[in-house]
């Protein structure tokens, strides 16, 4: 199965941005501009913290190292090949997308295991962008405590963090396509580097707030929030070499929770972290829940918002092809309402779409899940029903 998206004719890389070959994987840059004939020439809402022409920088991170199932690394290319770049430019955004070249040079077997060109552990010759050959040692990545693949997760997130920070500092909106949710270590820290007062809205079936001590599985996609908060047990190598706690408990709010571990419940209580579970969605309705969530983290709607959206927040009937589905989730409309309401605030500065896994189920279920990922991204960027 090819890792590369089929590109529509309007998205063929131009001569200015030719396809390069890096370590057997082709890398390319896609740039799409809005035009009246495609749709809008500017987004529906004013995104008040962005600068210049409204621009999205897509970070596609083909990464599955924060959990045990392969395939989630295929999502960025699936979402792109489903037409996401064109869809966003037709909403009035200028769109930049660099394929996965930044993730090739990590020495901990970073190329997705499901890729046909996944290397064996050992020494491998890799060509860099100037076609000079260099050798990269593929290093072992043993568990540290309970943490699985800690060096790989750390290195990839360090790169993601710098990418997201760079895009945000250009005045653009970073849209990160995961990959598993451990990538929020990078996305949130990158966003916080540009916007220290940003709040975080975490839409998920899970709280992802286990610490390296409380985690049962050792999978780091269940831990990113604890690191961002700097909870006890998170000041550990290799993460503490680059990742500093950047989030206060009162700056995060959850929506959609329904599968929370015992120790996670204790952490939420102990730190007074606001969370709206599916029980609250049932009780109040999604409109009221989003309003209460915003009132908690952003009462005057004056702070930048980072939205980290795990598609497993949606009910498995809506987004079935994801690694840890839990029944009783958000309907299609509830899931999209959240993104529409956040877009309407004009405060969004960074968006993650995480945990689409195009390899788990039949083609119809995969298509449904990929389509949901794309439509959540579009709604976050101002697509409306009318
Ligand atoms: Mn998650």
Tens-place pLDDT, residues 184-208: 999 999 999 999 999 999 999 999 9
Q: Does residue 259 have a known ligand-binding role?
A: no
Residue 103 CB coordination number (10 Å) = 25
> How large is the greatest C-alpha to C-alpha distance in the chain, in angstroms?
60
Residues carrying an active site annotation: 181, 204, 206, 208, 221, 310, 312, 355
208 is known to lie in a ligand binding site:
yes
Which residues, in sequence order, are bridge partners of residue 353?
A: 177, 309
Cβ neighbourhood burial of 240 (10 Å; 0-12, 13-18, 19+): middle
Question: Residue 357: is its pLDDT beyond 70?
Answer: yes
- Residues 142, 108 contacting (CB under 8 angstroms): no
pLDDT of amino acid 18: 42
Provide the pLDDT for residue 107.
Answer: 65
Domains of the chain, earliest start first: 30-109+142-380 (3.40.800.10)
Q: Tokens representing 185?
A: 């270590």
The stretch 59-72 carries a mean pLDDT of: 90
pLDDT for res 139: 77
Cα(185) to centroid(ligand 1), Å: 12
Give the distance (Å) from ligand 1 centre to CA of residue 53.
32
Does the annotation list 295 as a binding residue?
Answer: no
**Ligand 1 centroid, distance to 242 Cα (angstroms):** 22
Residue 292's SS3 state is helix
- Of 69 and 58, more confident: 58
Beta strands in the chain (DSSP E): 20-22, 25-27, 29-32, 55-60, 94-98, 123-127, 133-137, 173-177, 199-203, 252-257, 274-277, 305-310, 348-354
For 133, 252, 287, the CA distances from 293, given in Å and listed in that order, are 51, 9, 10
The model's pLDDT over 301-314, given as tens digits with 9 standing for 90+, comes to 999 999 999 999 99
Q: Residue 282: CB partners within 8 Å, gap ≥ 6? A: none
Q: How confident is the model at residue 108 (pLDDT cuts 50, 70, 90)?
A: low
């Amino acid at each position: 199965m090819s890792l590369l998206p089929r590109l529509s004719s309007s998205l063929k890389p131009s001569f200015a941005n030719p396809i390069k070959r890096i370590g057997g994987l082709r890398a390319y840059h896609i740039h799409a501009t809005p035009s009246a004939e495609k749709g809008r020439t500017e987004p529906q809402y004013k995104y008040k913290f962005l600068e210049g022409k409204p621009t999205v920088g897509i970070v596609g991170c083909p990464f599955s190292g924060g959990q045990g199932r392969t395939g989630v690394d295929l999502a960025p290319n699936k979402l792109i090949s489903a037409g996401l770049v064109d869809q966003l430019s037709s909403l009035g955004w200028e769109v930049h997308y660099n394929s996965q070249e930044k993730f090739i040079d990590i020495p901990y077997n970073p190329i997705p295991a499901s890729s046909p060109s996944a290397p064996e552990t050992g020494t491998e010759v890799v060509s860099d962008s100037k076609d000079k050959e260099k050798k990269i040692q593929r290093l072992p990545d043993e568990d540290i405590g309970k943490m699985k693949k800690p060096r790989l997760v750390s290195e990839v997130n360090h790169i993601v963090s710098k990418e997201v920070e760079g895009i945000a500092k250009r005045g653009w909106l970073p849209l990160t396509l995961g990959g598993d949710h451990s990538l929020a270590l990078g996305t949130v820290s990158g966003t916080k580097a540009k916007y220290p007062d940003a709040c975080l809205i975490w839409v998920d079936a899970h709280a992802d707030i286990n610490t390296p001590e409380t985690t049962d599985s050792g999978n780091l996609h269940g831990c990113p929030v604890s690191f961002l908060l700097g909870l006890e047990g998170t000041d550990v190598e290799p993460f503490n070499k680059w990742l500093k706690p950047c989030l206060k408990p009162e700056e995060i709010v959850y929506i959609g929770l329904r599968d929370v571990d015992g120790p996670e419940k204790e952490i939420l209580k102990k730190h007074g972290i606001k969370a709206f579970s599916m029980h609250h969605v049932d009780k109040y309705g999604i409109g009221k829940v989003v309003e209460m969530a915003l009132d908690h983290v952003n009462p005057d709607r004056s702070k930048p918002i980072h939205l980290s959206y795990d598609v497993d927040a949606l009910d498995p009937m809506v987004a079935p092809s994801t690694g840890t589905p839990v029944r009783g989730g958000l309907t299609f409309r509830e899931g999209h309402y959240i993104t529409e309401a956040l877009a309407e605030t004009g405060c969004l500065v960074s968006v993650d779409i995480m945990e689409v896994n195009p390899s788990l189920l039949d083609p119809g279920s995969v298509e449904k899940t990929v389509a949901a990922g794309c439509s959540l991204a579009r709604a976050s960027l101002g697509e409306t029903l009318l």
